Structure 1
C-alpha cells in the first residue's frame, strides 16, 4: 500500500484509507500521518538562536516540535468523519 498519492496539482496527499484508520485509532496509520507531517512540523519549529558571541544560527526547537506533534495527534484522534 502506498502511503501517499498525488493530487491533480502534484502535491503528495495521504490516502483516505490511512486518514480513516488513523481517526479510528490504528497505530500504524497514526504513525503514517505523523511521518507525513514530520517535515512540515520541523519547518514550523525552526527558531533563530544566538550564541554567547552574538552569532546567529537556526535550530529546531524540540519543545515546540513536540507540542505541534501532540496537537496533531490530538486533532487526528478527535476528528469526526462525515460521509
Structure 2
C-alpha cells in the first residue's frame, strides 16, 4: 500500500488528507501526472499556443461567421413577424 496526499490531486482541499491506496493505483496516478507534464512541455516546446494575432485570418472567419449567423437569426425573426401580422 502506498500513501498519497489528496491535497496534491484535489485543489479544493485546504488541509492534508492522507490515504492508503494499492501500488497499482499509485502507479497509474503517477503515470497520468507524467503524461500531463510531458504534454505541457511538448505544447510549449513546439509553440502550440494559438493566438488571434497570427495573421492567417482566423479572427476574420470568426467575426464573419458570427455576423452571418446573427443576420440569419434576425431574418427568421422578421419573417415570423411578417407572417404573424398577416
Higher alpha-carbon Rg: 2
TM-score, normalised relative to structure 1: 0.27
Structure with the higher fraction of residues in helix conformation? 2
Higher RCO, 1 vs 2 (CA within 8 Å, ≥6 residues apart): 1
